[in-house]
Amino acid sequence: MKTTSDCVVTATEMNQAEPPPPSYESLGYGYGQPPPLPAGTNVVYTQQPTNTAVISFRDKPIAMTCQFCQASVTTSTTYEVGVATWIVCFVIAFIGFWYGCCFIPFCMDDAKDVFHNCPNCGQTVGKFARLF
């Protein structure tokens, strides 16, 4: 069982504790401000250029600057099966063309999604989806 005399702190023990750190106001600069720089220090602020061009990809190759290799290129396009291809296939099958006619959209580029690739580095730089 502890008594109250166990929790008593003497005055000498309190003086051994570290003092609190100085406040910002006592240093001469307020909250949110950086400390002053030494004399003779030059501070240079530079603003980074921002080029935010929105490129709309369609089904034809376009001229652009590749964001991966920074080369000015005309994109190469590849066609891949997408949502529109499957919807056209199911619509043709639903109408009643069961004898293979529903597979015609898989042979047509106009029903497929278009991927734009950089011919320099090979990265995909954009996509044109027929529906979604």
Q: Is residue 11, in this structure, part of any structural domain at all?
A: no
Count of domains for the chain: 1
pTM of the full structure = 0.57
Q: Which amino acid is at 124?
A: T
Q: Is residue 115, in this structure, part of any structural domain at all?
A: yes
Calpha distance 26→28 (Å, rounded):
6
Q: Is residue 32, in this structure, part of any structural domain at all?
A: no
Parent domain of 79: 63-129
Q: Is residue 29, in this structure, part of any structural domain at all?
A: no
Picking from 3, 6, 125, the residue whose alpha carbon sits closest to that of residue 72 is 125
pLDDT tens for each residue of 4-20: 555 566 655 655 667 77
Q: Which residues of 101-122 are buried (b: 16+ CB within 10 A; e: fewer)?
A: ebeebeeeeebbbbbbbbeeee
Picking from 65, 59, 56, the residue whose alpha carbon sits closest to that of residue 77 is 59
Q: Is residue 81, in this structure, part of any structural domain at all?
A: yes
Q: Is residue 49, in this structure, part of any structural domain at all?
A: no
Q: Is residue 97, in this structure, part of any structural domain at all?
A: yes
Calpha distance 107→117 (Å, rounded):
21
CA dihedral of 104, 110, 113, 117, whole degrees rounded to 10: 120
Q: Is residue 124, in this structure, part of any structural domain at all?
A: yes
pLDDT tens for each residue of 39-98: 777 777 777 777 667 788 999 999 999 999 999 999 999 999 999 999 999 999 888 776
